[in-house]
Amino acid sequence: MKRLFLIVALIASVFTAQAWTKIVNGASHLIARKYMTQQAIAEYDRIASLKVEYKWTPIKNDKVALDANLQAVAADEKDIVVRIEKALDVLRNRKNHSELEQYGALVTLQNLVPNFHNVARISIEGIDHSQQDFEFTWTAGKEGSKKYEKRGTLTWSRFWTNNFCFWHQGWDSEYYAYDIDLRFGKQREQMQQGDLRTWAHEMGEMAKPLYEKWQPGCTMNNEHRLIYEDIHLSNVARAGYRLAVLLNDVLK
């Protein structure tokens, strides 16, 4: 039995080590750190080094819920916007919260600000397939082209979470952060304008036409991975730049 557990642990570690989300989240954290104030960095490091026993538990398929006008609804406790706002509140009023709560709030922001900027996490009222994950057919090349080959099915959340690292093998979070900042650095100030609610609206504007174009059972190919990579990377940049804004504000 022990052996079985060891093997399962090995599988889990293989997946963790190769997870795109881990690299992309790491990249957004590094981008954020680059644009944090010295004061925010000092306070961030103090909280991050607290010796508390906290375990981050992700909520499967959590969403940024938007109404039909693409305004954040934020009525559900599990909603990403609600949880980010609560975490910001804890960090803003650190004196009234325990070390464990402060630590938990920091981890929540580290995880949910990137998730907030993941297209697949945007749920729009009136668009059913945006409210839960859906499957589509994945092919190499367009039908009729020389390279056409049916590759099976893929889910929408997997497409937007794990699908953009194929041609960047060997990159670590640091290199992703460097490259992404190089690409989007000039747009940083523009991306940082607004607040959580306006950013949610912006993400809705980005996601809505994608949900209208792609529906359960559709067929996508690797061309779409190429076309959408810039959107994906811009969202990693947004997550990093905006995490810096949020932390600079609450860790004064």
Partner 1 sequence: MKKIIVTLLAAVMALCGVNKAMAWGTVGHNVAAYIAEQHLTPEAKEKCRHYLHHTLPYYAMWMDCWRGVKEFEAVNNGHSLKTTEDGRKISWEAIPSSTMGSAISTPPGRAMGHLLNALNELGNGNYKNLPDSLVRQRLINMIHYVADMHCPSHCGFPERIYLPASKYNLKRNGKFANFHSFWDGSIGAWRKGWTLKKYVEKIDNVSPNESKKWQKGLEQKDLQKGIDSWGKGIIARAHRAYAILPEGTDLAKLTKEQKAQVHELADESILIGGYRLAYVLNTIFKE
Report if residue 67 touches partner 1, rule: CB under 8 A: no
Residue 13 or 98 with smaller CB distance to partner 1: 13
Report if residue 178 touches partner 1, rule: CB under 8 A: yes
Q: Smallest distance from the beta carbon of 146 to partner 1, in angstroms? A: 7
Report CA-CA distances (Å) from 50 to 43, 53, 98: 11, 9, 11
Report if residue 11 touches partner 1, rule: CB under 8 A: yes
Report if residue 145 touches partner 1, rule: CB under 8 A: yes
The tally of CA atoms less than 13 A away on the side-chain side of residue 80 is 29
Report if residue 4 touches partner 1, rule: CB under 8 A: yes
Report if residue 166 touches partner 1, rule: CB under 8 A: yes
Segment interacting with partner 1 (CB under 8 A) among 80-88, 110-118, 121-129, 145-153:
145-153
Report if residue 54 touches partner 1, rule: CB under 8 A: no
Report if residue 68 touches partner 1, rule: CB under 8 A: no
Binding residues among 216-235 for partner 1 as defined by CB under 8 A = 221-223, 226
Report if residue 5 touches partner 1, rule: CB under 8 A: no
Tokens (6 digits) for 248 = 């600079």
Q: Smallest distance from the beta carbon of 190 to partner 1, in angstroms? A: 16
Binding residues among 179-198 for partner 1 as defined by CB under 8 A = 179, 182-183
Report if residue 140 touches partner 1, rule: CB under 8 A: yes
Task: Give contact residues for partner 1 (rule: CB under 8 A).
Answer: 1, 3-4, 7-8, 10-11, 14, 17-18, 140-142, 145-147, 166-172, 175, 178-179, 182-183, 221-223, 226
